[in-house]
Chains A and B, each alone.
Chain A
Amino acid sequence: MSRDLTIAVPRGALFHGTLDLLDRLGVDTSEVRSNERKLLFAEAGIVTMRPSDVPTYVEHGSADIGVTGKDVLLEQSQRRVYELLDLGYGHCRMVVAAREGGDPIGDALRRLGRVRIATKYPRVAAAHFAETGRQAEIVEVKGSVELAPLTGLVDGIVDLTATGRTLEENHLRVVEEIGVCTARLIANPVAHKLKGEQIDRIVEGIRIS
């Protein structure tokens, strides 16, 4: 692969899947794997960051292409980035969950006319409840969303779940599925034109592998 392409690689759940993918494309990721704290790997053309920052760097062209979750792209739908490929890994579901037993969301809607929902995805949550014709008050939280219904802060949550184990351990159950999210390859619109050949080579490489 050509080094004049800068790739934004998400740390966290998609990190190793993304590095494996880059290995298959012939990028040397050994330095990235062995160095937890370093962020910029000029030699390999890699910058690492949290997944929700990837669209920002790619939109501004500080990275030409990047990998992030569809959940991030849904939440940041205003970003002008091109979505090139569904990479298949990092499979998760965006769900509405509530406490086990009873129907706290239905009860709140029936008796109070609205439901309170905690989430790290306020736009996705608001859009989902609006589309299904229900009034929702969205409470944005930054940390563990599972805590919010347990303390009575909210009636339910909108969150991403891979195995459902965290939900289960906190006595929450999935009541609706909003959608499936996987890792996506995104590109800066200008780089997509000016570095078209290099980007196409990567897209083809991924399609084949």
Chain B
Amino acid sequence: MTHPIPPGTRDVLPEEMRELRAICDRMRDRFEESGYGEIHTPALEYEEVLRRGEEHAAGARYRTFDEQGDVLALRSDMTIPIARVVATRYRGVEPPLRFCYFARAWRAAERGVGEPREFLQGGLELIGVPGAEGDAEVVALTIAALDEAGLRRHRIGVGDGSLYGSLLASLEVPADRHLPLLECLSRRDLVGLEMSASALGLGEREQELLVRLPELRGGREVLERAAAPARDAVEGLRALHELLEERGVADRVIFDLGLVRELGYYTGAVFEVYDPAVGFALGGGGRYDELIGRFGRDLPACGLALDVQRVHLAQAAEEALG
């Protein structure tokens, strides 16, 4: 007889638990050392409140009713709950605010086998530090926390979520024709992107620009190679590069002008974390300058979340290399 658990969930037994806890502890210590206090929020929130942060409640999929008939949702990330906390519990507190968390979140396992439905996220949020300065702090601290966790070869991909949209606007592509291209870009279907771009009826150079820009990734030279209409848009990334250089981690960053993140609340820089031992991104994040405003406190913010189980995979692979 079997007693199944839902696909995408798992039991964690003592040996694995011990290792996961060690990773969380090391990362937490590093975060706390930099002034990021750990916070916890309820797993269940009012769906309506989560949706104030993002139309789709950042992909929350599990809902239930309470005894009053209100809809409760299992949170799908910690960013929206923390935005709510900042706008309520910290209403009168001067920014900047720094928080870290290690908490479970839930998403639908839409892609079938192997996709987690429940996962442990470790992350940080920096509230009230705008632009490149805030981005650099989050990127540098993530790199340092993963060093502490035992990773050696991790890198962070950095792009700008608004880059491609502003490029399309600067080429005077009508707004109603952006969507097919942005969809191809978020899947990195470069064949589809080329087809959609050629359907716009632009000149050869403009079309080339739309197809080639998302292929640009690498070190600082990438920012120089961006063609004129995109150059303004990469200004922010150039400033970020300088700050990362000061912090001595510029070589750990891969600028990626095609990087977009799926969640709707990102307004600027977006991040993805990679390790060569794992075929999937270990986590990601970005700048969300409008989210907290939707809860009534207009503050710029930036954050990043790591999937602790994937960090563990990378750490185990690193250990095996010796």
Contact = CB atoms under 8 A, between A and B. Distances in A.
Interface string B152-187: 000101000000000000000000000000000001
B112 A78 contact: yes
A60 B313 CA distance: 13
B256 A60 contact: no
Interface in A43-88: 59-62, 78-80, 82-86
Interface stretch (A13-21, A32-40, A187-195): A187-195
Contacts of A83: 187-192
A62 B276 CA distance: 11
The A interface, classified by DSSP as helix, strand, loop or mixed, is mixed
Interface in B136-161: 155, 157
B274 interface: yes
A61 B254 contact: no
A177 interface: no
A128 B264 CA distance: 29
B287 interface: no
A84 B258 CA distance: 13
Contacts of A61: 278-280
- How big is chain A's contact interface, by range? 20 to 34
A193 B191 contact: no
A197 interface: yes
The B interface, classified by DSSP as helix, strand, loop or mixed, is mixed
Interface in B109-146: 110-112
B279 A85 contact: no
Nearest to B222: A196
B218 interface: yes
B254 A85 contact: no
Contact of A194 (B188, B191, B274): B274
A59 B111 CA distance: 12
A61 B279 CA distance: 4
Interface string B176-216: 00000000000111111000000000000000000000010
B281 interface: yes
16 contacts: A59-B279, A61-B278, A61-B279, A82-B187, A82-B190, A83-B191, A85-B190, A86-B191, A188-B279, A190-B276, A190-B280, A190-B281, A192-B217, A194-B254, A196-B254, A203-B215
Given A82-B188, A190-B281, A194-B155, 15 more contacts: A59-B279, A61-B279, A79-B111, A80-B280, A82-B189, A83-B188, A83-B189, A83-B192, A190-B275, A190-B278, A192-B188, A193-B155, A193-B157, A193-B274, A197-B218
